[in-house]
Amino acid sequence: MKVHPDRLADAFVKEYELNTTARVLFPFLSTPAGLEEWFADKVKANPGGFLAFEWDDADHLGVIDTLKLNKSVRFCFIDSPSQAHLVQERQQQFPFIEFSVVPGNFSQSIFLRVTDVTESTSEDIEETWDFLISTLKDRIGG
């Protein structure tokens, strides 16, 4: 599944204010157990560094493209494990979701920037993310 270049310009990007620290938040963004708390029904780590995300009884194969501890993580979604090397070698653009932790300038809060470049045609993508982030806030108390 390759992302059409026009889709990159249509990426969903939104920042959410959270009353927590990057150290508390980051495991919820980067580990299978943390992601299961708010983002997916199930997340399973597979040999070879793949993650199997389950939403609505459908599996989606993801691979961590970039990870900067307590700062950002990007998951690229691929059709098969054989495509993982294309992600790592940057030979092809894949659908991805990126979470970036942004420090607040004038408050103790931090911001979570969500960038969603997937093949979703849902017109209510913002509503979906608002719901997911609300669930995340409930889990972390922020």
pLDDT of residue 109: 83
Q: What is the pLDDT of residues 8-51, one digit of tens each?
A: 557 899 999 999 999 999 999 999 999 999 999 999 998 777 89
Handedness of CA 91, 93, 99, 105 (dihedral sign): positive
Distance from the first to the final alpha carbon of the chain: 35
CA 83 to each of CA 43, 48, 92, 96, 127: distance values in angstroms, whole numbers, following the listed order: 19, 12, 9, 14, 31
Among 14, 4, 39, residue whose Cα is nearest residue 119: 4
Q: Tell me the one-letter amino acid at 128.
A: T
Confidence band for 4, pLDDT divided at 50, 70 and 90: very low
Q: pLDDT value at position 120?
A: 67
pLDDT digits (tens, 9 = 90+) for 72-99: 999 999 988 777 767 766 657 889 999 9
What pLDDT does 10 receive? 72
Pairing of strands 12-18, 42-46: unpaired
- Model confidence pLDDT, tens digit, residues 90-129: 657 889 999 999 998 777 789 999 999 987 656 689 999 9
* Average pLDDT over every residue of 2-8: 46
**CATH classification of 5-29+64-140, choosing from 3.40.140.10, 3.10.310.50, 3.40.50.970, 3.30.530.20?**
3.30.530.20
pLDDT at 138: 96
- What pLDDT does 47 receive? 79
Tell whether the model's pLDDT for residue 133 goes beyond 60. yes
Nearest residue to 38 via CA among 23, 28, 48, 51: 28
